[in-house]
Amino acid sequence: MNDLLPLWITLAVLLLAGLGFVGVSASRRSKTLPPADRRPEIDGADGHADLDEDPAAAGAVDTLPGQDRPDTLDHPAGPVAPTAEPEVLVDVPEPPAGRLVRLRERLARSGSPLGTRLLAVLSRDHLTEDDWDELEETLLLADMGAGPAGELIDDLRTQVRVQGVKDAAGVRAMLRGALVTLVDPTLDRSLSTTATTTDGTKVPAVVLVVGVNGTGKTTTVGKLTRVLVADGNQVVLGAADTFRAAAADQLTTWGARVGVETIRSFKDGADPAAVAFDAVRAGKERGVDVVLVDTAGRLQNKAGLMDELGKISRVITKEAPLSEVLLVLDATTGQNGLNQARVFAEVAGVTGIVLTKLDGTAKGGIVVAVQRELGVPVKLVGLGEGPDDLAPFDPEEFVDGLLQG
């Protein structure tokens, strides 16, 4: 037993030495990474390093043993470019010049009963009283009105009696001249797009657009915006039709298509005069050329309409003079449209007419009738449903379209 004692002592020493080595190794390994309470402070809200507390933590990353800490963190595909703002695409409206040629072509394709019937009767070898009555009836059915129709018949009677024109070319030329005279090419059909105050300060030209709902008034304002932009004008729109909920949205969409700002109210039943005033003031501040104001098309009674439009006009003129008051009329409504026109002319001081849906009727006489009734020119005509189907009115192009049937 005593002989084994040195062996047991040797084994015990070796065991104690091994345990001590393991403890030292574990202690050294524990220093490789700092404990949790010694890591950089973490913002509990978003899990990112608190750069104010430890600026160096912005680039700190854990590395595996044997790896070098990278100086920078590059994106796998290279540097990340800043996100670009989405490009806003706007339409480039068609130039207004030459648009009326399309109306001429459409009237010709429709076989205009006005021009066709007038030419057919006037080409007869001998014109009886019944023939003249037929001519007058044709003019009346074309919504020309009794007064202008009588004048045209008298003019044609004189020319036929004096000149004795019988050939087709001569008859056409005679009729064309009489119709152009009746439509009156001497009227000023230009839109006023410049304005100044009494002291000579340049301000935006303010164009007020009025008319009954259902005539395409707001759409016409949108199309007129494109005409003005195509002519190089800077425009601001005023959505003063606060009676119809969709009118402001509709007008805003039209303006956005050509990069034009719309001043509107998001409050139901807002004061139209206040919106118009804000639009004119915004136009002055932005230095634009034209402020185009859409108004409500209510025609409940003359007194109410007068009060509303009168207030809008008074408020606008505190900021800038009123350059134009355009009345939008549906060319297909005939005499009913003329009745509406009379009321607006008395209330709003109309300076020009915009006839919509003129391509939808081959009557054509409404142009003469409305000018004669109101004493103001037709300045623009609607040619169709397209965004650029609004054209400056040209008497000779219009008459040529009627006579191409």
pTM of the model: 0.75
Separation between Cα atoms, residue 350 and residue 371, nearest integer Å: 11
Separation between Cα atoms, residue 136 and residue 134, nearest integer Å: 5
Q: Which domains does the chain have, with CATH numbers?
A: 195-350 (3.40.50.300)
Q: What is the pLDDT of residue 3?
A: 58
Beta pairing, strands 205-210 & 290-295: parallel
Pick out the residues of the known binding site: 211-218, 294-298, 356-359
Q: What is the pLDDT of residue 127?
A: 84
| Cα-based angle 95, 101, 105 (whole degrees, multiple of 5) | 140
Pick out the residues of the known binding site for GTP: 211-218, 294-298, 356-359
Residue 387 burial (C-beta neighbours within 10 Å; 0-12, 13-18, 19+): middle
**What are the per-10-residue average pLDDT scores of the chain (405 residues)?**
58 58 46 40 37 37 38 40 51 81 69 76 85 90 89 89 77 89 93 77 92 87 95 95 89 95 89 95 95 85 81 92 93 80 86 86 80 92 87 89 73
Beta pairing, strands 390-392 & 378-382: antiparallel
Amino acid at 163: Q
User: Which of 247, 183, 245, 246 lies closest to 209, judged by CA?
Assistant: 247
